């Protein structure tokens, strides 16, 4: 029953609003890239240069915010300030209000024309037309069926381009099915890995945000190392496979650490203090960053090589949907395990995280085998041309609108 004095519902509302605000990151990145492209009036202006500058400008506030949080804002910050959570939230509120004011002031600088086509709308319109065809196919002869389908498509505004777009999206469904396990593993890093950190020796020496930075830096560095060390740089399917292997390794490390930590807790009898150092978590977050960097880069390039030209600029959005579905699977999996097997308690010491990590190892291993079969059977010989400049950095320009 709903209790007005229970603050849990306030936390849920705050999380939902925070998620809505976070969803605007990609749009804001596109706006910044377009503005950089518009400001650049030099003679050697091109799409690749505009994208590179936009990425640099986008990374500056992202990195600055992370550094400020680690040094001064978060509790146990390196700068020696050590603010309370109340002060931390107040600083965040002031920063967001200031950002909103600056954004509103510059709102009139950027103009976008009206949308002409929406890929999601195209997909459901074509899919609905196909369902109508299945329902009516038994009532008509083949000739009547063909003519009625043509008339129906014309009446619904469905073009051959729309059908081609939907077919290209359907080609990606097998790949997307295997990628759902990737965010399932990634979600563990921002939840249970941090909970592990709270019960390790030295957790009061550094802020937990430090692990987020390690994970992000690892995801950035692995792409550079992969391009320099491997001899098959253009094989994006292999890059995804290596990323999935990293997810297995990260879960194995997490299982080993939690197994020995719980063993020590049972032997010593002290739930709060263990001799296991928080430094053992660094390897888990590093390999998790490797997984995210490789799978994200590889999946975006595979998507680009498979999808129709009309919706290539939406590849990040489609991949974001897949990642969100994987995180939802993680939530339902935890709820099922908690209700049926009672694996999760009030704290980490009363939770069977070692069993959950072992389950993830098995799931990731089976998913890796399935991915190898799907990549071999469905996407054989579909690698992009390594000599094509379009397969490198390309401006994420929208196909449904242009700058005014």
CB-count exposure of residue 239 (10 Å: 0-12, 13-18, 19+): buried
pLDDT at 401: 39
pLDDT at 44: 65
Decide if pLDDT at 402 tops 70: no
Please give the C-alpha separations between residue 44 and each of 47, 339, 391, in angstroms, as whole numbers. Answer: 10, 61, 20
Query: Rounded to an integer, what distance in angstroms lies between the CA atom of residue 129 and that of residue 151?
Result: 11
Local confidence band at 162 (pLDDT 50, 70, 90 cut-offs):
confident
Query: Rounded to an integer, what distance in angstroms lies between the CA atom of residue 179 and that of residue 326?
Result: 8
Beta carbons of 75 and 82 less than 8 angstroms apart: yes
Beta carbons of 356 and 343 less than 8 angstroms apart: yes
Pseudo-torsion of CA 273, 275, 277, 280, nearest 10°? -110
Decide if pLDDT at 330 tops 90: no
| Residue 231 in tokens | 């001899």
Query: Rounded to an integer, what distance in angstroms lies between the CA atom of residue 285 and that of residue 303?
Result: 26
- Of the candidates 299, 316, 303, 311, which has an alpha carbon nearest to the alpha carbon of residue 25? 316
Mean pLDDT taken over the chain: 77
| Residue 57 in tokens | 């400008």
Pick 255 or 36 by higher pLDDT.
255
> Which of 159-173, 303-317, 326-340 ranks highest by mean pLDDT?
326-340
Please give the C-alpha separations between residue 236 and each of 82, 131, 391, in angstroms, as whole numbers. Answer: 44, 34, 11
Least confident of 161-165, 291-295, 307-311, 400-404: 400-404
Cα 186 → chain centroid: 8
Kindly state the average pLDDT of the residues 215-242.
85
Decide if pLDDT at 47 tops 70: no
Q: Which residues on neighbouring strands pair with residue 277, listed in sequence order?
A: 201
Single pTM value for the model: 0.78
- Of the candidates 16, 386, 76, which has an alpha carbon nearest to the alpha carbon of residue 234? 386
Decide if pLDDT at 297 tops 80: yes
Query: Rounded to an integer, what distance in angstroms lies between the CA atom of residue 302 and that of residue 174?
Result: 12
> Which of 122-126, 271-275, 345-349 ranks highest by mean pLDDT?
345-349
How many degrees, rounded to 5, is the angle at CA 23 between CA 21 and CA 26?
Answer: 120
Local confidence band at 383 (pLDDT 50, 70, 90 cut-offs):
low
pLDDT at 366: 95
Q: How many other CB atoms sit within 10 Å of the CB of residue 69?
A: 19
160: left (phi over 0), alpha (psi -120 to 50) or beta: alpha
pLDDT digits (tens, 9 = 90+) for 182-209: 888 888 888 888 888 888 887 777 778 7
- Of the candidates 62, 75, 6, which has an alpha carbon nearest to the alpha carbon of residue 29? 62
């Amino acid at each position: 029953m709903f209790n007005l004095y229970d603050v849990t519902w306030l936390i849920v509302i705050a999380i939902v609003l925070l998620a809505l605000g976070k969803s605007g990151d990609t749009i804001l990145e596109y706006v910044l890239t377009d503005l950089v492209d518009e400001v650049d009036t030099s003679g050697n202006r091109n799409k690749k240069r505009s994208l590179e500058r936009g990425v640099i400008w986008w990374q500056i506030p992202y990195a600055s915010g992370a550094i400020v949080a680690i040094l001064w804002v978060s509790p146990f910050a390196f700068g020696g300030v050590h603010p309370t959570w109340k002060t931390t939230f107040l600083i965040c509120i002031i920063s967001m209000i200031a950002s909103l004011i600056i954004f509103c002031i510059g709102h009139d600088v950027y103009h976008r024309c009206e949308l002409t086509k929406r890929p999601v709308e195209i997909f459901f319109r074509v899919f609905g037309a196909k369902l109508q065809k299945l329902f009516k196919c038994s009532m008509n002869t083949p000739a009547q069926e063909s003519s009625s389908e043509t008339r129906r498509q014309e009446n619904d505004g469905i073009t051959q381009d729309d059908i081609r777009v939907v077919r290209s999206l359907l080609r990606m469904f097998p790949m997307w099915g295997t990628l759902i396990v990737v965010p399932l593993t990634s979600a563990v890093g921002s939840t249970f890995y941090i909970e592990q950190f709270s019960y390790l020796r030295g957790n009061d020496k550094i802020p937990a945000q430090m692990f987020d930075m390690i994970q992000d830096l690892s995801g950035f560095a692995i792409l550079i190392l992969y391009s320099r060390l491997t001899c098959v740089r253009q094989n994006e399917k292999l890059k995804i496979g290596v990323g999935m292997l990293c997810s297995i390794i990260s879960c194995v490390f997490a299982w080993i650490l939690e197994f020995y930590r719980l063993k020590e807790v049972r032997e010593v009898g002290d739930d709060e203090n263990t001799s296991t150092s928080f430094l053992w978590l660094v390897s888990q977050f590093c390999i998790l960053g490797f997984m995210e960097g490789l799978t994200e880069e590889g999946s975006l390039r595979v998507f680009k090589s498979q999808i129709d030209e009309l919706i290539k600029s939406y590849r990040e959005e489609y991949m974001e949907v897949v990642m969100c579905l994987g995180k939802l699977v993680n939530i339902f999996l935890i709820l099922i395990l908690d209700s049926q097997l009672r694996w999760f308690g009030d704290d980490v010491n009363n939770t069977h995280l070692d069993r959950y990590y072992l389950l993830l190892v098995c799931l990731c291993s089976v998913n890796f085998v399935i991915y190898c079969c799907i990549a071999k059977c469905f996407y054989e010989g579909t690698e992009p041309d390594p000599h094509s400049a379009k397969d490198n950095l390309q401006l994420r320009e929208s196909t449904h609108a242009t700058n005014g």
